[in-house]
Amino acid sequence: MRQHVNPLSINFNQIERIPPLIEMFDDPRLNLHLDIGCAAGQSLFNLALVNTSWNYLGIEIREKLVKTAKLKAREREINNLYFVFGNAYNILNDVQNKFIIKNVKSISFNFPDPWFKKRHYKRRVVQPEFINILSNSLQKGSLIFIKTDVKDLFDYMDCTISSNLNFKKIDAKNFNYSQSFNPCEVKTNREKYVIVNQLEVYKRIYMKI
């Protein structure tokens, strides 16, 4: 079941500072993947356990989920996984936190909240200003992965990212995942639900050029 939080609420104006890489991960030199809207982080736990040659950072706006995920990662001593609470846009737009974008190799937006009503579109996480921030700081060759089961949201995200001339589309169908953050193509919770219910998954990959 989807649980919506209004990301534009003033509750999210306060920003969590992202710690330096060395404080978040055992080996800060590893490739870093950023997952935006990771919910309880189940897929990130699966990824981090299997792919120990990558670091994973999840950003999620539901504080309780982040607290639980952080605790779980610490208890299980998973040292290539970290979680940050808040509105991803506010967090990554913050001067102190911008360093993280320079360090990420890839970013995923997996099944973001669709906000179906037109007057709520501004609550969608993928926005031109957000993509601008990413395009200004990402290293060339970095990738953005989007996935959703909502065609309208897919078109909206695709249009928003494609309108930024610093990104070009990659062929997602023939993409070789073996060298990516997700070599075993681990599915998120929403993705599992979508597959079981035989709904369509719309996905695309973009590269910073």
Residue placing its CB nearer to ligand SAM in the complex, 109 or 141: 109
Among 125, 126, 134, 144, binds ligand SAM (CB under 6 A): 125
CB 79 within 8 A of CB 1: no
CB 16 within 8 A of CB 91: yes
Rounded Cα–Cα distance for residues 167 and 56 (Å): 22
Q: Is residue 149 near ligand SAM by the rule CB under 6 A?
A: no
Task: Establish whether 35 is an annotated binding residue.
Answer: yes
Q: Is 158 helix (H, G, I), strand (E, B) or coil?
A: helix
C-alpha dist (Å) from residue 75 to 58, 78, 83: 17, 8, 14
- Range in contact with ligand SAM (rule: CB under 6 A) among 1-9, 16-24, 135-143, 173-181: 1-9
Task: Establish whether 63 is an annotated binding residue.
Answer: no
* Residue 78 DSSP label: -
- Range in contact with ligand SAM (rule: CB under 6 A) among 21-29, 53-61, 131-139, 167-175: 53-61
Distance of closest approach, residue 62 Cβ to ligand SAM, in angstroms = 5
Only one residue has tokens 């981090």, namely: 48
Q: Is residue 82 near ligand SAM by the rule CB under 6 A?
A: no
Rounded Cα–Cα distance for residues 46 and 186 (Å): 7
152 belongs to the catalytic site? no
Residue placing its CB nearer to ligand SAM in the complex, 10 or 165: 10
Task: List, by residue number, the catalytic residues.
Answer: 113
